[in-house]
Structure 1
Amino acid sequence: MFLFLLLLVLSPPPLAFSLNQEGLYLQRVKQGLADPSGALANWNERDETPCKWYGIRCDSVTGQVSSVNLSNSQLSGPFPAVFCRLPSLSNLSLAINLINSSLTVDFSGCQNLTQLDLSDNLLVGPIPGSLAKIPTLKHLDLTGNNFTGDIPASFGRFRQLEKLYLQGNLLNGTVPGSLGNIFTLRELGLAYNPFAPSQIPSEFGNLTNLKMLWLSHCNLVGRIPGSLGRLSQLQNLDLSLNGLTGSIPSSIGELKSIMQIELYNNFLSGELPTGMGNLTTLRRFDASMNNLSGTIPSELCGLQLESLNLYDNGLEGPLPESIASSKLLHELKLFNNKLSGSLPSQLGENSPLQLLDLSSNQFSGIIPENLCAKGKLEDLVLMNNSFSGEIPVNLGKCKTLLRVRLKHNRLTGRVPDNFWGLRRVYLLELDENLLSGQVSPSISNAHNLSILLISGNQFSGPIPDEIGLLGNLVVFSGSGNSFTGRIPASMIKLSQLDRLDLSKNELTGCIPEGISKWVNLNELNLANNRLSGRIPSEIGSLPVLNYLDLSRNSFSGKVPIELQNLKLNLLNLSNNQLSGELPPLYANEIYSKSFLGNPGLCGDIAGLCPDTGRSKNRQYLWILRSIFILAGVVFVVGVVWFGMKYRSFKKGKGVAISKWKSFHKLGFSEFEITDCLKEENLIGTGASGKVYKVVLSNGDAVAVKKFFGVPKKVDSSTVSSERDEFEVEVETLGKIRHKNIVRLWCCCNTGDCKLLVYEYMPNGSLGDLLHGRKGGLLDWPTRYKIALDAAEGLSYLHHDCVPPIVHRDVKSNNILLDGEFGARIADFGVAKIVEGIGRGAESMSVIAGSCGYIAPEYAYTLRVNEKSDIYSFGVVLLELVTGRPPNDPEFGEKDLVKWICTTMDQKGVEQVIDPKLSSSCKEEICRFLDIGLLCTNALPINRPSMRKVVKLLQEAGGENKSKIGKDGKLSPYYLEDASDHGSLV
């Protein structure tokens, strides 16, 4: 026994198992990549094999590595070429990481690789042609990188490739016909690349196994090749957002397996082709925003479509009766065409209609009774037609309706009682019809109603008290009817009210007490009624009111001095029975028309007060005063003349008054402005000029922007001459009237000196306040209010201006804040007037915008549309959530958007929310964060419109939580239709 123990002690220990060769290769991968999240922490070199390591799978028979899946692991660094030394590797995925090199690897060594997924990284340079040397490759995904140049011609030599995804890169060559040689291909995605203008290769007709062809936004021109009709297995054809011309080829009717055809936003012409009745599997057809003509073929209407979308074309003729036979029709969008005739009576009877939008056509006849027969209808948009008859009673039973727009038709009769009280409707628009009767008290059931538009009808009787129960009501427009009685006192409960227009009715009595609760009211119009009593002084306490019209009533008493507290764009108290002295602010000539027709009203405005009853002494006093005024005018004119001569003698030293142009009624003179452009009044300096604060003689302040000697040029289009920032800003802001757009009072242009005079915003810019020392002042309710204000301003630019305006430099420094932290969009020096929202992007000669806010596609294509603004606004939303600037040294090579996505995946949402914000608001902040991420989606088509953003923000901050999931995320339903082709509020 002793001898045995001695031998045991003296014998060497058994050798430890060493890591096999494949493990050593993978250790080299680990050493070459940065791994901040520790994803590769269990890649232990003391193991015998790597088969139990994170992301590694081995063959059960040979024990060799067969799959490496390191997707979404926050890895960065160059692509590890050593992967190709794993002899049995068949599946390699590094998707959703930060791999940031060029692919200079010779992939011919990866002889057994069948799937290679490098999507959503930062890879640059050309796509290596050696990929085609992998004989077994079936799936290649390079989506969402920064590859440039051509698609390698060698790709035509793939022999087993089934899926090729290259969308979302910077490829700028042409679409090669050699891809038509990959006969095994089933899915081909080249969308969202800035290719040079090229045609769809006719060779693509050889891809007879193809099921998906995605060529959206590829700068394609010319005709759609008829050879595509040979793709008998094709299910999804997307050629949208290009420059295709000519007619749709008749061979499209040979696509026997097709389920979806997307042709919108091109320049296609001619009629819809015959033979489309053969497409028995078609579920969605979208040929919107083209130049198509003719009628809708009856054979197309007989298909069981889920969505037929032909809006914004030149189609003419009636909607065929056969369309009602569709059993799967979910969405029917035909707005902005020239369709006429009546609707099929069976429409909706056999199909679960969810959305019907036939607006802006020439339809007539009655609205079909059974549009909601299957109980699914959510959107009913029939505005701008000639529909007649009554609103169907059955629509009052449609509990799913969310949005009803029947404006500008010839509808008559009473609105069904149940229709007034639809519980889910948030928009009810019945303007400009011939509807009569009373507003039913059942409107109290419409708890979700935000916008009620019923002006221009023949409604009569009193406005029901129950309207005060609509706690979500933002807009109530009932002008041009025959309403009688008093304004209901219950309406003071409508704390969300933004606009109230009850003008041109027969209302009587006083304005109800307690209207100071209307803290969000922007517009109050009660003109042309029979209202009486005193104008309540409470109106002067409404913080955001900028439109007040109480004209043509019987109001009496004094003009409340509290009205001086308002910042009004319009004030009209004319044709009442007001008396007494005017408040000092309004006792000047620029407000003269605001008070006409009030015989008892006195002030210093010439002609306002009657001459009768004046004493002779007062007449003498006026004569003397007139003499002194005349002498003073002569003296001032002489001084001005001398000053102008002197200033013209000294070039560039002053401003020619004759060059001033005003856009509003001014309560100040130009001399007050020019005399205060001193360094002690300087409040900011930008790339194009200096900004001064000027305090006027009446105590108000304005901001004056003085441009540098040579303003920067801003390209207008490819055909018009260049204009400088001053001209663009004047042209843009001079036409705009909106509470969330900074107000341009006047401008001056003498050639040598260019000035813009704006309203002064005492709280400065959002960027300064958010990222400066006062950032802690912005609590969450204030940030939410700022975001909603700014969103409404941008929505106005995109959807309500004619033509629409793209700002092109949306950022927190261009969002200014008034004394109540109300937000205004400012700095329109690079704004762009576009043909129309949704018409596609226009090319610019230079990039406009600020680092960190520029949309990815704008930075590399120089093509601009409203989606670029939406991306920039999304960055602002993320700034409000995080409290961080768009670029921060802490982010490394990332920007704010990528930093948020990375941090949320790695550490959770709590780590991106500004710690200064109260934790009690976390749920609302998370919903707000999701909206910001939606706006900054890498693909422009997935970003919502600004109208949609406004609605999302309103609902995210309101009491309506029905569309919020348990995890605090916006539900898929809530975010549906992000591309927003339809006509929204």
Structure 2
Amino acid sequence: MLVFLLCLLLSSPPILTLSLNQDGLYLQRVKLGLSDPTNSLSSWDNNSRDETPCDWLGVTCDPLTRRVVSVNLDHSQLSGPFPIFLCRLPYLSRLSMVDNNINSTLPLDVSTCRNLTHLNLAWNLLVGTVPETLAEMPNLRSLDLSANNFTGDIPARFGEVSRLEFLNLAGNLLNGTIPSWLGNFSTLKELHLAYNPFTPGRIPSELGNMTNLKKLWLSHCNLMGQIPDSLARLNRLINLDLAINRLTGSIPSSITELKSIEQIELFENSFSGELPVKWLNTTTLRRFDASMNELTGTIPIELCELQLESLNLFENRLEGTIPESIAQSKNLYELKLFNNKLHGVLPSQLGKNSPLGSLDVSYNRFSGEIPESLCSKGSLEDLVLIHNSFSGKIPGGLGNCHSLRRVRLKQNLLSGSVPEGLWGLPHMYLFELAENSFTGSIPKRISGAYNLSMFLISKNQFSGSIPDEVGVLDNLLEFSASHNNFTGLIPGNLVKLDQLGKLDLSENELSGGIPQGIQGWGNLNELNLANNRLSGEIPGEIGSLPVLNYLDLSGNFLSGKIPLELQNLKLNLLNLSNNQLSGELPPLYAKEIYKSSFVGNPGLCEDLDGLCPEMGESKNQGYVWILRSIFVLAGVVFVVGVVWFYVKFRNFKRTKKSIAISKWKSFHKIGFSEFEVIDCLKEENLIGSGASGKVYKVVLRNGEAVAVKKLYGGSKKGDTSNGSLRDQFEVEVETLGKIRHKNIVRLWCCCNTGDSKLLVYEYMPNGSLGDLLHSSKVGMLGWPTRYKIALDAAEGLSYLHHDCVPPIVHRDVKSNNILLDAEFSARVADFGVAKVVHGVNRGQESMSVIAGSCGYIAPEYAYTLRVNEKSDIYSFGVVLLELVTGRLPIDPEFGEKDLVKWVCTNLDEKGFDSLIDPKLDSTYKEEICRVLEISLLCTSTLPINRPSMRKVVKLLQETSAENKSKTSKDGKLSPYYYEDASDQFVV
């Protein structure tokens, strides 16, 4: 039997019992210490027949020794403390964990990773100070700790690292100073310290000792003073970026001695004086940006003789002409010189020798003709020449420039006919010829401009009829053609333009009636047909336009009755004067405050006293006037007596102090009494409450409703001081009291007696976007509605940032502060922490506390406390992400992430489809993805990369265009490129 078993054992195949080597065991310990919600480390199990971890995700081994030499776990959504067990891998030379959620301090014993040459922990949640023990890694050549939350100083011991070539600490919370000992890094090739709130200080002159340095990125570092001449010793420097600081003095001529320099970024500082004249040593320079400073003098000829690709000197005080030599550059793509005092003519050969893509010389004093050669290379996309004195005709060659996307020639002295080809360029979305002397007519070829969204040709001498082909421009958002000589009928198919937001055909000679079917103008906000020769009746369909708030039909021959349907509109302006209207006024408008809207209509004179004061005059008018005055005075005395008695009686019944009616202040013409509001502030009318007060719905006697916010006293609801209540009330009143915009909630009136503070707003029946979007009522919000809400809110914020003087920063943009009316039109609300930004410090005023809501606060605002429009833009980007994903800005499912980080992570791992709210119709997928792209631009970590709200509006408006950028096959986002004379943005 024993022999049999022995034979059986010998005849059986051997059993392989491979065990994992020590490197693999260490990596498994690493896995145990990390949270891995997406199971990225599923391969880190010993299920293979290999005793090494060399085939595991992110692990690289030496091909001979089979020992781990590199670990790359980028974008794996891992969270937890830094995995110190990685430092036990004896041959590990490269470690990268970019874009995860490593959320502890970086341990001091990280120095046990002694063989590391490259360490990259960028885009994590690391906190605390940068460990000085990193200097104990003798072989370290590259260290990237950017986009974390490190605080304090740069450790002085870093000066001991003898081989370091790359150091990136940008985008942290470092608040010490930029140390002078950095100049000891003779081996360093790249130094990135941008976007840290360093203590204000100068650029250390010792940085000029880093003779091997190629890139120096110190933008947004609170730098002051002048650029030290010692930087001229950086002979290998390729990129010098000192933008967005407070540097002063003149730009030193020493920077022209940088022999290898290719890019110099000095924008948004306080440089003054003239530009350096001699640029003989910087023959390698390709990009120079010194915009948004206080530079004077002329543009140096020597600078323009370089083979530049980009020259940006906008928003300075430069004078003189543009040197002809700039046209000789074979690489020039971008030339932006707007908002200066430049004059003369443009270089005649501009664009002939280079692929010119963008030219913006707006708000200068240029004259002469537009050069014929601007689009010789077929690359011109943006031509912006507004507010100059250019004359002559538009060059015929621009009619064949199919690359054009924006043409802005407003307010010049241009004349003659417009090249026919220019009307129909397929990629053009903004065409602005206003305030010139152009003649001719709009050709039928306009139908070829199918991407056109802004068509602005007012104040010219165009004539003929408006062609029907304008009605096929499906993406048209604004058509302004006022103050011309157009004749004939208003084309009937204009009613098909369902995206149209503004139609202004006033001050022409148009005849016939207002087209039928205008109920298709669901997005129309402004309709101006004044001072034409229109006849017929006013169609009642106008009353069905849900967002119309400006209606001017004055100075025509319109007849018949005023449609009762006009009472459905919420108008800021109504003007039907100087027509031939008759009949009765709609009851809502039969009031004294609307008298000016109906003057000059003889058939209406008996319906409202005094509408036509020239009628009914008699010899006894003086006597009648005296009698009327007596009766009016008696009536006033009687009313005052009744009011006095009523107030005294109310005071007697109430235990609390009453609201003094004398303290009421109105900001609009209101048709209700203050008493009506006070009587309805009861608990049964309560519709909401928050930290600052309660909100009531008050139904007035005329059937209309208003919302009344009653602010708490200083001792209630955790309010720590009467001052905070007073500040919130005064900010809200000061801000909303002077704003008139369809997408800003309307403040009717207010009351302030010291103890009682009331704010009376228009009532929004659909509540807030946040309440609808994150509740069982979300089914009411299909994608077209969500898109409309996004565009409305963007236009409201754009008005605050760009059209208010001075600008207003909201500081608490969130879905709960976007209110919806009965048609789901959006209004931006709650201005209790808004900030009016004044003077030269616009966008840079510091606050004593953080304002905003968790999940919406821009990352830089949390540590700089600076008021900035970019903070609002970040918050609005979060709102867009809510609309696209249907998710809350903070959700337990995200772990320690917020919505922005969750979207970025899932986008890289799973693509678009994993982000889109499953409740949305998939037929809108392409448009939803474009809105997602815009939201990611808005929530960029670096404020400079966020578009302005004016740009956001344009981007949203263009999402429905057929030929805009689409999602690429690999699931990545395609970039946008937009620039404007008044607000720049490039991604």
TM-score (norm 1): 0.94
How much does 1:595 deviate?
0.9
SS of equivalent residue, structure 1 residue 964: coil
How much does 1:630 deviate?
7.1
How much does 1:129 deviate?
0.7
Are the aligned partners of 1:798 and 1:837 in contact in 2 as well (CA < 8 Å)? no
Note the alpha carbon deviations across 1:870-904, whole angstroms, 9 max, x for none: 11111111111222211122222221122223344
Q: 1:778 to 1:15 in 2, by over 3 A?
A: closer
- 2:720 is matched with none
- 1:321 is matched with 324
**In structure 2, what is the Cα distance between the partners aligned to 1:970 and 1:52?**
27
Q: 1:430 aligns with which of 427, 430, 433?
A: 433
**In structure 2, what is the Cα distance between the partners aligned to 1:170 and 1:690?**
38
Are the aligned partners of 2:489 and 2:510 in contact in 1 as well (CA < 8 Å)? yes
How much does 1:379 deviate?
0.4
1:655 aligns with 2:659: yes
Note the alpha carbon deviations across 1:810-837, whole angstroms, 9 max, x for none: 0000000010111111111111222489
2:233 partner letter: R
Q: 1:104 to 1:2 in 2, by over 3 A?
A: closer
- 1:963 is matched with 965
* Mean Cα deviation higher: 13-22 or 418-427: 13-22
Q: 1:722 to 1:703 in 2, by over 3 A?
A: closer
How much does 1:568 deviate?
0.8
* Mean Cα deviation higher: 508-517 or 449-458: 508-517
How much does 1:386 deviate?
1.2
**In structure 2, what is the Cα distance between the partners aligned to 1:601 and 1:915?**
55
Are the aligned partners of 1:253 and 1:277 in contact in 2 as well (CA < 8 Å)? yes
Note the alpha carbon deviations across 1:376-433, whole angstroms, 9 max, x for none: 1000000011111111111111111100111111112222222222222111111111
Q: 1:707 aligns with which of 711, 719, 729?
A: 711
- 1:25 is matched with 26
Matches within 5 A, 1:196-275: 196-275=199-278
* Mean Cα deviation higher: 482-491 or 835-844: 835-844
Q: 2:371 aligns with which of 368, 371, 378?
A: 368
Note the alpha carbon deviations across 1:122-156, whole angstroms, 9 max, x for none: 11111111111111111111111111111101111
Are the aligned partners of 2:548 and 2:569 in contact in 1 as well (CA < 8 Å)? yes
- 2:44 is matched with 43
SS of equivalent residue, structure 2 residue 500: coil
- 2:930 is matched with 927
* Mean Cα deviation higher: 375-384 or 943-952: 943-952
SS of equivalent residue, structure 1 residue 285: strand
SS of equivalent residue, structure 1 residue 691: strand
How much does 1:646 deviate?
6.2
Note the alpha carbon deviations across 1:490-539, whole angstroms, 9 max, x for none: 32222221111111222222212222222211111111222222112221
How much does 1:107 deviate?
3.7
Note the alpha carbon deviations across 1:638-697, whole angstroms, 9 max, x for none: 111334566789896333333333222222222222222222222111222222211122
1:867 aligns with 2:846: no
Are the aligned partners of 1:554 and 1:576 in contact in 2 as well (CA < 8 Å)? yes
Are the aligned partners of 1:874 and 1:931 in contact in 2 as well (CA < 8 Å)? yes
**In structure 1, what is the Cα distance between the partners aligned to 2:964 and 2:971?**
12
Are the aligned partners of 1:307 and 1:330 in contact in 2 as well (CA < 8 Å)? yes
SS of equivalent residue, structure 2 residue 19: coil
Are the aligned partners of 1:107 and 1:133 in contact in 2 as well (CA < 8 Å)? no
Q: 2:731 aligns with which of 700, 703, 728?
A: 728
How much does 1:746 deviate?
2.0
Are the aligned partners of 1:590 and 1:666 in contact in 2 as well (CA < 8 Å)? no
Q: 1:942 to 1:836 in 2, by over 3 A?
A: farther
Q: 1:677 aligns with which of 655, 675, 681?
A: 681
- 1:716 is matched with none
1:555 aligns with 2:558: yes
Note the alpha carbon deviations across 1:578-629, whole angstroms, 9 max, x for none: 11111111111111111111111046532126797999xxxx9999999998
* Mean Cα deviation higher: 507-516 or 171-180: 507-516
1:6 aligns with 2:6: yes
1:97 aligns with 2:80: no
**In structure 1, what is the Cα distance between the partners aligned to 2:55 and 2:937?**
37
Q: 1:698 to 1:885 in 2, by over 3 A?
A: same
2:731 partner letter: V
1:967 partner letter: K
* Mean Cα deviation higher: 567-576 or 20-29: 20-29
How much does 1:706 deviate?
1.9
SS of equivalent residue, structure 1 residue 580: coil
* Mean Cα deviation higher: 702-711 or 67-76: 702-711
SS of equivalent residue, structure 2 residue 105: coil
Q: 1:99 to 1:150 in 2, by over 3 A?
A: same
**In structure 1, what is the Cα distance between the partners aligned to 2:409 and 2:21?**
74
Q: In percent, how many aligned pairs have the same letter?
A: 71
Are the aligned partners of 2:173 and 2:196 in contact in 1 as well (CA < 8 Å)? yes
Are the aligned partners of 2:929 and 2:967 in contact in 1 as well (CA < 8 Å)? no
1:964 partner letter: K
Are the aligned partners of 1:944 and 1:978 in contact in 2 as well (CA < 8 Å)? no
Q: 1:507 to 1:92 in 2, by over 3 A?
A: same
**In structure 2, what is the Cα distance between the partners aligned to 1:806 and 1:34?**
39
- 1:665 is matched with 669
Are the aligned partners of 2:462 and 2:486 in contact in 1 as well (CA < 8 Å)? yes
Q: 1:372 to 1:269 in 2, by over 3 A?
A: same
**In structure 2, what is the Cα distance between the partners aligned to 1:91 and 1:757?**
63
2:43 partner letter: N
Are the aligned partners of 1:712 and 1:725 in contact in 2 as well (CA < 8 Å)? no
1:240 partner letter: A
SS of equivalent residue, structure 1 residue 106: helix
2:976 partner letter: Y
Q: 2:692 aligns with which of 688, 691, 694?
A: 688
Q: 1:216 to 1:88 in 2, by over 3 A?
A: same
Matches within 5 A, 1:323-338: 323-338=326-341
Q: 1:161 aligns with which of 154, 164, 169?
A: 164
Q: 2:829 aligns with which of 826, 829, 850?
A: 826
Are the aligned partners of 1:266 and 1:290 in contact in 2 as well (CA < 8 Å)? yes
- 1:916 is matched with 919
TM-score (norm 2): 0.94
- 1:698 is matched with 702
2:172 partner letter: N
**In structure 2, what is the Cα distance between the partners aligned to 1:646 and 1:200?**
72
Are the aligned partners of 1:496 and 1:520 in contact in 2 as well (CA < 8 Å)? yes
- 1:974 is matched with 976
* Mean Cα deviation higher: 17-26 or 590-599: 17-26
Are the aligned partners of 1:241 and 1:840 in contact in 2 as well (CA < 8 Å)? no
SS of equivalent residue, structure 2 residue 150: strand
1:378 aligns with 2:381: yes
**In structure 1, what is the Cα distance between the partners aligned to 2:472 and 2:427?**
15
**In structure 2, what is the Cα distance between the partners aligned to 1:802 and 1:900?**
36
- 1:758 is matched with 761
How much does 1:22 deviate?
2.4
Q: 1:885 aligns with which of 869, 885, 888?
A: 888
2:92 partner letter: L
Are the aligned partners of 2:286 and 2:310 in contact in 1 as well (CA < 8 Å)? yes
How much does 1:906 deviate?
4.6
SS of equivalent residue, structure 1 residue 408: coil
Q: 1:86 aligns with which of 89, 93, 109?
A: 89
2:743 partner letter: N
Q: 1:651 to 1:502 in 2, by over 3 A?
A: farther
CA RMSD across the alignment: 3.0
- 1:807 is matched with 810
Note the alpha carbon deviations across 1:59-113, whole angstroms, 9 max, x for none: 2233322111122222221112222222211111122211111112324433321
**In structure 2, what is the Cα distance between the partners aligned to 1:200 and 1:334?**
28
SS of equivalent residue, structure 1 residue 791: helix
How much does 1:569 deviate?
0.8
1:527 aligns with 2:527: no
2:676 partner letter: E
Q: 2:70 aligns with which of 67, 80, 94?
A: 67
1:691 partner letter: V
SS of equivalent residue, structure 2 residue 790: helix
**In structure 2, what is the Cα distance between the partners aligned to 1:829 and 1:699?**
29
**In structure 1, what is the Cα distance between the partners aligned to 2:417 and 2:811?**
47
Are the aligned partners of 2:977 and 2:985 in contact in 1 as well (CA < 8 Å)? no
Note the alpha carbon deviations across 1:307-326, whole angstroms, 9 max, x for none: 10011111111111121111
**In structure 1, what is the Cα distance between the partners aligned to 2:480 and 2:686?**
44
1:745 aligns with 2:748: yes
The number of equivalent residue pairs is 975
**In structure 2, what is the Cα distance between the partners aligned to 1:683 and 1:837?**
42
